[in-house]
Amino acid sequence: MKHLDEAKTLWAEIVPKSGQAKTQQGEMLRASEKLRDSWFREGNGYWDKDYEHFVAYLREHLTVAEEHFDRLTDLVVEWIHAHPEPVTHEEIPDLER
């Protein structure tokens, strides 16, 4: 993670110990970390409307410009560099797109 130290500092400054943040910046960081935490703790096994909200909130604020898709592609390329050996993808039945 490129910005781990900065994310930790920002978390301490703009994300409350409980409840929603007062700023979009804080809430976006909180949403991102809530989703990460759910994934690593239970593999999103307890997904509910709150997690749907976090995804929608991030989508609302992050998908308004092409540059965000550029960043996503950059992250994928960085992942590929970190994993140069082919990793088999198991096809998902009924996935048409």
Q: Which long-range contacts (CB under 8 A, 24 or more apart) does 29-36 make?
A: 31/55, 31/57, 31/58, 32/58
The pLDDT assigned to 63 comes to 67
The pLDDT assigned to 71 comes to 78
Q: Is 95 left (phi over 0), alpha (psi -120 to 50) or beta?
A: beta
- Which token pair is 42? 């239970």
Is the dihedral angle over the CA atoms 7, 33, 56, 53 positive or is it negative? negative
What is the residue type of 34?
K
For residue range 1-17, what is the model confidence (pLDDT) as tens digits? 778 889 999 999 999 99
- Which token pair is 90? 């198991």
For residue range 22-81, what is the model confidence (pLDDT) as tens digits? 999 898 899 988 888 888 888 888 888 998 999 999 888 876 767 776 776 788 788 888
CA angle 92, 95, 97 (to 5 degrees): 130
The pLDDT assigned to 88 comes to 85
